[in-house]
Amino acid sequence: MVASLTISTVFINTSNALLKKNLQLEQVIKVFGGTKKDIIKDLYLPSLIPATRSNITLGMGLGLKVVVLGEFIGSQDGLGYLLNVAKIYFQMDKVFFYLIILLLFMVIFELVVNLFFILFFQKYLLSE
């Protein structure tokens, strides 16, 4: 369920990043004797770094929503089930607690992803 809902968005995001190629830069690489390998290495792969970063965060966000929704609808355990039970019994303190747990999980994930991309791919992210 998660894959069917996230793959199309990731595909569209990646294909848009590849379609926004810089023809002038590609011609410059060819003029200076660059091959297809050089064009892929110096033009296409760096343009995929920001798309990969957004795909990871987008996929994780959508995936978490789908998992919680699946637990909310048809599960006997998990955070979605607990959220649903707390909502049914109108236990708003537990509802907000479970929502805060979800938000903290997403914030920690975002921090880890951003730290990873800043440490390893900072030179590619400056052009965003």
Question: How far is it, in rounded angstroms, from Cα 100 to Cα 66?
Answer: 17
Spatial CB neighbours of 60, under 8 Å, sequence gap ≥ 6: 106, 109, 113
Flag whether pLDDT at 64 surpasses 60.
yes
Question: How far is it, in rounded angstroms, from Cα 87 to Cα 68?
Answer: 14
Q: What is the pLDDT of residue 123?
A: 82
Flag whether pLDDT at 75 surpasses 60.
yes
127 pLDDT tier (thresholds 50, 70, 90): low
Number of domains in the chain: 1
83 with 98: CB under 8 angstroms? yes
Q: Average per-residue pLDDT in the chain?
A: 89
4 with 52: CB under 8 angstroms? no
pLDDT tens digits for 3-44?
Answer: 888 899 899 999 998 898 888 999 999 999 999 999 999 889
Instruction: Pull the structure tokens for residue 10.
Output: 């990731």
The position carrying tokens 């091959």 is: 35
Instruction: Pull the structure tokens for residue 41.
Output: 């290495």
Judge if pTM exceeds 0.75. yes
* Diameter over CA atoms, the chain: 70
Domain that holds residue 113: 2-125
pLDDT tens digits for 117-126?
Answer: 999 988 877 6
pLDDT-above-90 percentage for the chain: 45
Smallest CA-to-CA distance from 5 within 79, 58, 45 is with 58
79-86 average pLDDT score:
88
Flag whether pLDDT at 60 surpasses 80.
yes
